[in-house]
Amino acid sequence: MIDRPASDQPPISPLPTARPLPSLPPMETGIRGRCPRCGQGHLFQGYLTLAPRCAVCGLDFSFADPADGPAFFVMSIVSFPVVAFAGWLEVSFEPPLWVHVLTSLPLLLIGCLGLLRPLKGWIVCTQYVHKAAEARLAEPQAAPPADACISGCAPVK
């Protein structure tokens, strides 16, 4: 091993964000419920409540606004197989209502609750990676002077 003089060694920075962070896939970090920037801190404070910031790198999660997206996708994903199962069960066996309550309702609840957190994490991490922000109206541009040519030509005299 070659010893370098102290002046040739890179400086050590106390800030955790001073080092370049790798680009982490939003699906992997979101499904695991990890910070989209460092991949180590927790994204959630509770089951579905986002933490205010990452405890490891300090990323502020106030940019995240998944709104109803996760719930919509979960309902769309889970409802089709469960409704198909309930329809098949009804057509094939004509069971009483309590059989549907004991079979279809738990499938629906387990499917929805099992997918809601990973999908919310994925949407939040995707918002971070793509720098998604709330839509804003553009500032109005100043009108050109009355004697200016729109195509950039010299004014006519």
Q: Is the pLDDT of residue 123 over 60?
A: yes
| Cα 55 to Cα 65: distance, rounded to the nearest angstrom | 20
DSSP 96: -
Contact 10, 4 (CB under 8 A): no
Coil vs helix vs strand at 89? helix
Contact 148, 155 (CB under 8 A): yes
The amino acid at residue 99 is V
Is the sign of the CA dihedral 69, 70, 73, 74 positive or negative? negative
Q: Under 8 Å CB-to-CB from 13, ≥6 apart: which residues?
A: 19
**Left if phi > 0, otherwise alpha if psi is -120 to 50, otherwise beta: which for 67?**
left
Tens digits of per-residue pLDDT, 89-107?
999 999 999 999 999 999 9
Higher pLDDT, 144 or 53: 53
**Is the pTM here over 0.75, yes or no?**
no
| Cα 74 to Cα 60: distance, rounded to the nearest angstrom | 26
| Cα 13 to Cα 79: distance, rounded to the nearest angstrom | 51
Q: Is the pLDDT of residue 6 over 60?
A: no
Q: Is the pLDDT of residue 135 over 60?
A: yes
Tens digits of per-residue pLDDT, 10-64?
444 333 444 455 578 999 999 999 999 999 999 999 999 999 999 999 999 999 9
